[in-house]
Structure 1
Amino acid sequence: MRFQKIGSIGLITLLTTLLMGGLGSVALSQKQPNGLSGNTVKAIASTQTLPNAKQNQSNEQILLDIEGELGDGDQVLPQDGSLYDEHTFEGLAGQSVAIDLESDDFDTFLILLDPQERIVGQHDDVSQNDLNSTLNVTLPVDGTYTIIANGFDSNSRGRYRLLVRTPIQSVSQ
């Protein structure tokens, strides 16, 4: 049986086999100091597929899925006068993430900052005909990463969607 390791705190490990849009199980186990398994609690759970999630993404975990808007009252980049919103997520060193910033209203610009606010990556247009932004990076350190959801210029206003995904890392039991 294959599990997705959610996390560990001391001797407690949480594993799940939840699949997007289906049934799965969650197991919480505690190891004794001598290394033997202790109590295990299992539960059956049902998940729902996110309405905007792509069909082929069952091997990816959604870290952020945000619908936002650039408009009056948003922060302004001093370099070019463009509006921006900040969004954060927790990342691990070596973790691969895919970030997409899409809008039908304006030309997007995407910036990813590490926990020390250094630029990890930035992207403007997918192509000459696609003014959305996408970034695929491997995170350099553990910590809280900041995404700057930005427009290309000071006239950029409107709705956008920000999606951050990472491959699911499975461990065998």
Structure 2
Amino acid sequence: MTKFSAYRWSISLLFGLSSYFFGFKTLSTQAESLYSPIPLTSINEVSDTLSDKDIPTGEGGFARDYIVNLKEGDQLAVDLISDDFDAIVVLLSADGTTVAENDDGPDGSTNSLLFSRITESGKYIIRVQAFGETGSGKFILKVSRLRPTN
């Protein structure tokens, strides 16, 4: 291989890799902008619908995410009620780590009730999802910060 053809090969490789990485970054940025959890502010009850337009779980069902700011020491109760699907509620930290989850409530129904104590202040995701292929439908999400009595 001559020096000139090695140079041309190196430039082509560099251009190809640059395009790949810049293109990948653009796709990654676009994907990030498509994901936007629904903010939960002071509202503690939400009536909503889980549909096939939400996040596919890979198990045949779907998930809808809500974002909430929590403080260290908060005690959280999350109640997820649906007559349309087998409800699962998951609490995720900002980095996507599962903090807590619940599939079936203590009453033996397919509703979910989750309790968790927050150990680090920050943003958290409350994920509403259907178990397996149970699908979609209407639900009520109740989020309460439990306060100790004095």
Same fold (TM over 0.5): yes
Amino acid at match of 1:69: T
> Matches of 1:71 and 1:162 in 2, distance apart?
15
Which of 53, 56, 60 lines up with 1:73 in the alignment? 53
- How many correspondences in the alignment? 109
Query: Runs of 5+ in structure 2 lacking a partner?
Result: 1-41
Residue 86 of structure 1 contacts residue 149 of structure 1 at CA under 8 Å; is this kept in 2? Answer: yes
Given the alignment, which residue of 77, 81, 86 partners 1:107?
Answer: 86
Cα separation, 2, equivalents of 1:166 and 1:86: 18
Shift of 1:169: 6.7
Greater share of residues in helix = 2
What is the TM-score of this pair, normalised by structure 1?
A: 0.57
Aligned equivalents of 2:145, 2:43: Cα separation in 1: 7
User: Structure 1 stretches (4+) deviating beyond 3 angstroms?
Assistant: 168-171
Match of 2:132 in 1: 153
CA deviation vs aligned residue, 1:83-125 (integer Å, no higher than 9, x gap): 0100111101111010011001111011100122210101101
CA RMSD of aligned residues (A): 2.1
Separation in 2 of the partners of 1:137 and 1:73?
29
Find the counterpart in structure 2 of residue 42 from structure 1: none
**Quick check: 1:112–1:122 contact (8 Å CA) kept in 2?**
yes
In the other structure, the counterpart of 2:64 is 85
How far off its partner does 1:155 sit? 3.0
Tell me how far 1:81 sits from its aligned partner.
2.6
Match of 1:163 in 2: 142
Instruction: Structure 1: give runs of 5+ residues left out of the alignment.
Output: 1-61
TM-score (norm 2): 0.66
Which has the larger share of strand? Answer: 1
Alignment of 1:117-156 (within 5 A): 117-127=96-106, 129-156=108-135
One-letter amino acid of the counterpart of residue 84, structure 1: A
| TM superposition shift of 1:64 | 3.0
> Any conservation in 2 of the 1:109–1:132 contact (CA below 8 Å)?
yes
Ranked by relative contact order (alpha carbons within 8 Å, sequence separation 6 or more), the top structure is 2
* Identity rate, percent: 26
